Amino acid sequence: MVITWYGEGCFRLQNGDTSVLLDVYDSSTGLTPPRGKVDAHVRTLTSWPFPFGEQEETIIRGAGEYDIRGVHIKGFELPQESTSKFFKTVYIILWEDITIGVLGHLSEDLPPQVLENFEEIDILIGPGGGAPFIDQDRMARLLKQVTPKVFIPSFFKISGLKRSAGALTPLLERINGGAVEPQEKFVCKKKELDEIKKTTVVCLKI
């Protein structure tokens, strides 16, 4: 599997000729959205009612179970973080034998009934820069609870991003004791993940 980051919460997950895109943004962020065809778009933050025209796309949004070309995706809605104008969802993605947790726009602790689904995952993707998303102390505690093999942070300050975002460094100091050298992409196999004994932080760059 290959995981590539495009800034904010946008990642491309790819295995062979199948690919899934998480939380694509628009150019108003100051960043460049990814291009190219993918098999599914996964949304952790969804406006309600749905934007016109999106119903025809392969978009995964909201609670439920979805299967796209052998990729099994299960969504869990976060009612405490949702309003009449939008709803938030977190996901578990099972791709062959690798399990990926996607926290997306999470701002609070995971509810217990959702948390239990994240307790045996290989890779966790979640906010690393603090407000307006889950604060860094809570994120550090969550990592200790679910102990993924790999943690990939999202939503932190990078060059070109227009919104005010927190730096990743304070979280790294809490969970890793210091800086991590950013990678262009993360390539992994299940066998390699199984050999990891302690949560490894993987920082990606765009």
Assess whether pLDDT exceeds 60 at residue 19: yes
Q: How far apart are CA 151 and CA 198, in angstroms?
A: 11
Q: What is the mean pLDDT of residues 8-35?
A: 95
Give the residue from 158, 149, 154 showing the smallest Cα distance to 130. 154
What are the structural domain ranges in the chain? 2-201
Q: Looking at residue 17, what is its pLDDT?
A: 94
Which band of pLDDT confidence, cut at 50, 70 and 90, is reported for residue 53? low
Q: pLDDT tens-digit profile of 60-119?
A: 999 999 999 999 999 999 999 999 899 999 999 999 899 999 999 999 999 999 999 998
Q: What would the mean pLDDT of 137-148 be, rounded to a whole number? A: 96
Q: Which residues, at least 6 apart from 48, have a Cβ–Cβ distance to it below 8 Å?
A: 84, 85, 86, 87
Q: What is the pLDDT at residue 50?
A: 66
- Percent of the chain scoring above 70 in pLDDT: 96
pLDDT of residue 114: 97
Mean pLDDT of the chain: 93
5-15: average pLDDT: 97
Distance CA 125, CA 183 (A): 15
The CA distance from 122 to 97, in Å, is 9
> What is the token pair recorded at 203?
């920082």
Q: For domain 2-201, give the fold.
A: Metallo-beta-lactamase; Chain A (3.60.15)
Give pLDDT tens digits for 29-49.
Answer: 999 999 989 999 999 999 887
